[in-house]
A = this chain, B = another copy of it.
Amino acid sequence: MKRPTMADVARHANVSKSTVSQYLNKRYHYMGEETKLRIEKAIQTLGYEANVLARSLKQKKTSTIGVIVANILHVFSTQIIRAIEDVCHEHDFHVIVCNADDDPAKEKKYIQMLRAKQVDGFIVFPTGENKALYEDLLQEDYPLIFIDRLVEGVAVDAFLLDNHAAVQLAVDHFLSKGHERIGIITTSLIHHVTPRVERMDAFGEILKHQAITFGRAYQRGLETRDIKAGLMEMLALEEPPTAILAGNDLALIEILKAVKAYKLRIPEDFALIGIDDIPFAGLFDPPLTTIAQPTFRMGKEAADLLIHKINGVEDLKSSQIHRFPPRLIQRASC
């Protein structure tokens, strides 16, 4: 039994399709009270539901946005997604989320797919290797917003943590606790992923005096699988760091695994701060001191801006970088 169409409703109510359409779109203008009732009744008895596909085809608008996250394993990504969904829900927009898995080819495929589906705009955590793709989107006036990462030469609105401030916060806290030999470990830098690079650079700059002494030995960007080994190497140095900053949640987890595996003690063997406030941070032993991002606000503001761009109430061509302040959550690991 196939689904009823607008024509069925019209026939049932003895009106024309266009009248039904008016009714559905609340163009009640001067529609007869009795007509409305007849239509409503027909809709009920038939169990009619509009076909969004047909509507979108005609209106050239799907009320759907695409979100491409570089790597959904980051808690940051999942939190941002929640925030985006909240605001979209309010505005009767829908969200399709795709996970590029840090793979530029996948990212490209998903963007094409979502364009084919006629999404009205994009929020993306760019892998960074698809510059031409973003430029295409822009040139076609596709509303586009970046989160967490930038792509050099692509001028779009972007929402990022103030990474320098985040590192500063951590380093200051380490220093206040008397630590002088401070290291940083983060995930791989080879793809020039913005937050990793910015955090690493900020770290080097803030601690340039120690960089002269310890240099690269204290600052490592490694593939996830190599982090445990990298940490142990760092700790095996003649003058090992007494404090370590985990550049993001994935790095933090690897460090915690090593702590467990090698029965290290925190903060006795080394103090630890992680950027990104993972959900279980407070439940660990010891509870973990972290730097939190205002993820909810970031996601909300990004989504608001995108929807405004889609609705034409905001300049399509704006390309500001919106920086958000980090917050230190002091627990016991430092």
Chain A residues with a Cβ under 8 A of chain B: 1, 3, 47, 49-54, 56-57, 62, 85, 94, 96-97, 99, 112-113, 115-118, 136, 139-141, 253, 256-257, 260, 280, 282-285, 287
Contact = CB atoms under 8 A, between A and B. Distances in A.
Contacts of A256: 283
Contacts of A52: 116-118
A143 to B, nearest CB: 14
22 contacts: A1-B141, A49-B112, A49-B115, A49-B116, A51-B118, A52-B116, A52-B117, A52-B118, A53-B53, A53-B56, A53-B57, A53-B62, A54-B57, A94-B113, A94-B117, A97-B97, A257-B282, A257-B283, A260-B282, A280-B280, A284-B284, A284-B285
A253 B282 CA distance: 11
A116 B51 contact: yes
Nearest to A283: B256
A96 B284 CA distance: 34
Contacts of A287: 260
A217 to B, nearest CB: 26
A116 to B, nearest CB: 4
A88 to B, nearest CB: 11
A210 B284 CA distance: 34
A272 to B, nearest CB: 13
B117 A53 contact: yes
Which of A52, A253, A283 gathers the greatest number of chain B CB atoms within 10 Å? A283
A236 to B, nearest CB: 22
Contacts of A140: 1, 3
A52 B62 CA distance: 12
Identical copies in the complex? 2
A332 to B, nearest CB: 11
Contacts of A54: 57
A68 to B, nearest CB: 13
A138 to B, nearest CB: 12
A326 B117 CA distance: 39
Contacts of A257: 282-283
A116 B62 CA distance: 12
Contacts of A57: 51, 53-54, 57
A70 to B, nearest CB: 16
Nearest to A106: B89
A50 to B, nearest CB: 6
Contacts of A96: 94, 96
A136 B282 contact: no
A287 B260 CA distance: 9
Closest 4 CB pairs of A and B: A285-B285, A52-B116, A53-B57, A52-B117
A97 B85 CA distance: 11
Contacts of A282: 257, 260
Given A97-B97, A253-B283, 15 more contacts: A49-B112, A49-B115, A49-B116, A50-B116, A52-B116, A53-B118, A57-B57, A85-B99, A253-B280, A257-B282, A260-B287, A280-B280, A283-B284, A284-B284, A285-B285
A56 B56 CA distance: 12
A137 to B, nearest CB: 11
A57 B118 CA distance: 13
